[in-house]
Amino acid sequence: MAASEFWQKRSLTRLKDHNKRTTNAASLTLRQSIFPICLVTVLFFLWGFSYGLLDTLNKHFQNTLGITRARSSGLQVAYFGAYPIASLGHAAWILRHYGYRATFIWGLLLYGLGALLAIPAIIHHSFAGFCICIFIIGNGLGSLETAANPYITVCGPPQHAELRINLAQAFNGIGAIVAPLLGSYVFFGFDNEEKALENVQWVYMSIAIFVFFMAGVFLLAEIPEITDADMALQEEEAAKKNRPGMMGAEAYHAHEDLPFRKQYRLFHAAFAEFCYTGAQVAVASYFINYVTETRPNTDSALAAKFLAGAQAAFAVGRFIGVGVMTFIRPRKVFLVFMTMCWVFTAPAITQRGNIGVSMLYVVLFFESICFPTIVALGMRGLGKHTKRGSGWIIAGVFGGAVVPPLLAAVADSNGGKTGTAVGMAVPMVFFLGSWTYAMAVNFWGWYRQAVDAFVGGEGGNGGQSGVELGIRGENNGTGVVQPVTDVENMTGVKLVPR
């Protein structure tokens, strides 16, 4: 009896009613939400590690297989090209019909399968075969991101969504540090190239074992499922709580009641994610090339250590960004960080040596909070459209398959004399594309209202800060609207018309 109940709670059966609430995600206590959030956060480390490993392998295969920068970008094309197939295709379908747990397990199984198949591809020195395996891994990671980002966003109080997702994504940064640091020791510095390739095999074997273990954990663990109705209720309650009276409710319904095809702010967020991810991946993928070309007497092993340091700056930026967001609205922090990305990419194009490398360190620091903040802001107020909207934003990761080959083509032009430094102009242009969304959510009222309707005080802490007292009008039946004030948490006065 107990065993039957145990497996019933962990079944992967089809969701029968999306309009039926299973749990009010916004009302989960800290004790209820901490375990599923921690479990899902492990996934962020996994794809941070995979992403950092890919950046290291990019240069490794140039050395061991004697291929050009443009051809090595096939790794990024395979990896990030899989994301829209997952987020708009199979993963979106599984998430919609079977829920979050099934999508997590599906993504992990694909990740593990791709890692296992990579081993024979490496043994036979098949770069094309390895790219196919990376494509399978990309489908797995795309599935995980399609589910994990919205799950972290909606699992808990909505006013802390940006903080939760940025904190979880900080472990992505830690994984991205570990991978190139590991690569500097096991991929480079060997006189025997066969030994280096053998080490790659063992790394992917270890990945497969751990990933399959995590799939088993998700199968056995009890994590709350969240339906479309749960997410719709969460958004509406957040709007009413953080914008008292009809102001919040009207802001919510005006946004959520739009048909999906008219969620233009969501599509702009997806475009911003496309541009940002493409630029981020391009900078990281050719970071080792940049260092070896612009810094004298620097080999690939030392450059991989520099990349680990740059990823450390990225991770530190995530934690600092989360701290700043407790005091300042996430959209404002996002604007500053996004602006600094393209500002500091510009001198990396013209400078060389330690100065140029330092500029890229600063770029990675300010990249830190951009991806998860776009996800969180883009899904604000989607309600019942949250799962589908998440798929569109994650599909924007496809930019990682487009921008690196463009950078490589520029770097390889003129017989390779142009170089990676000049090629950094390509990600700078795409950073500007993403910057348009940061400007819109801060200075275009239509965007700002949709975001701020679901956020409380200045740091998104749910309280009223600065000069914020809600004053609601109540009709007393005579046609005269009487002001009703709530002074329980008053720290100032701000008129909020009903």
Query: Which CATH number is 399's domain given?
Result: 1.20.1250.20
- Residues 265, 398, single domain; the answer is yes
- Residues 165, 262, single domain; the answer is yes
- Residues 348, 473, single domain; the answer is no
Q: Which residues of 369-400 are buried (b: 16+ CB within 10 A; e: fewer)?
A: bbbbbbbbbbbbbbbbbbbbbbbbbbbbbbbb
pLDDT value of position 4: 60
pLDDT value of position 69: 74
- Residues 283, 225, single domain; the answer is yes
| Closest listed residue to residue 370, CA positions, set 395, 342, 346, 389 | 342
Query: Looking at the domain assignment, is residue 493 inside a domain?
Result: yes
Query: Looking at the domain assignment, is residue 229 inside a domain?
Result: yes
- Residues 440, 482, single domain; the answer is no
Query: Looking at the domain assignment, is residue 21 inside a domain?
Result: yes
- Residues 182, 57, single domain; the answer is yes
pLDDT value of position 476: 41
- Residues 352, 470, single domain; the answer is no
Average pLDDT per block of 10 residues along the chain, 498 residues long: 56 57 59 80 82 71 73 84 91 87 93 92 85 92 86 72 72 76 66 68 87 91 73 62 51 59 86 95 91 90 87 87 87 95 94 93 93 85 74 87 91 82 95 95 82 58 35 39 37 35
pLDDT value of position 482: 40
Query: Looking at the domain assignment, is residue 457 inside a domain?
Result: no
- Domain span at residue 226 reads 2-452
Residue 474's beta-bridge partner residues?
Answer: 482
- Residues 377, 252, single domain; the answer is yes
Domain count, the chain: 2
- Residues 428, 479, single domain; the answer is no
Residue 454 in tokens? 């679901």
Query: Looking at the domain assignment, is residue 278 inside a domain?
Result: yes
- Residues 84, 154, single domain; the answer is yes
* The 3-state secondary structure of the chain, one letter per residue: CHHHHHHHHCCCCCCCCCCCCCCCHHHCCHHHHHHHHHHHHHHHHHHHHHHHHHHHHHHHHHHHHCCCHHHHCHHHHHHHHHHHHHHHHHHHHHHHHHCHHHHHHHHHHHHHHHHHHHHHHHHCCCHHHHHHHHHHHHHHHHHHHHHHHHHHHHCCCHHHHHHHHHHHHHHHHHHHHHHHHHHHHHCCCCCCHHHHHHHHHHHHHHHHHHHHHHHHHHHHCCCCCCCHHHHHHHHHHHHHHHCCCHHHHHHHHHHHCCCHHHCHHHHHHHHHHHHHHHHHHHHHHCHHHHHHHHCCCCCHHHHHHHHHHHHHHHHHHHHHHHHHHCCCCHHHHHHHHHHHHHHHHHHHHHCCHHHHHHHHHHHHHHHCCHHHHHHHHHCCCCHHHHHHHHHHHHHHHHHHHHHHHHHHHHHHCHHHCCHHHHHCHHHHHHHHHHHHHHHHHHHCHHHHHHHHCCCCCCCCCCCCCCCCCCEEEEECCCCCEEEEECCCCCCCCCCCCC
Collapsing DSSP to helix, strand or coil, 485 comes out as strand
pTM of the model: 0.71
Residue 45 in tokens? 């480390």
Cα torsion 314, 317, 319, 321: sign: negative
- Residues 320, 364, single domain; the answer is yes
- Residues 144, 244, single domain; the answer is yes
Query: Looking at the domain assignment, is residue 160 inside a domain?
Result: yes
pLDDT value of position 149: 77
Query: Looking at the domain assignment, is residue 441 inside a domain?
Result: yes
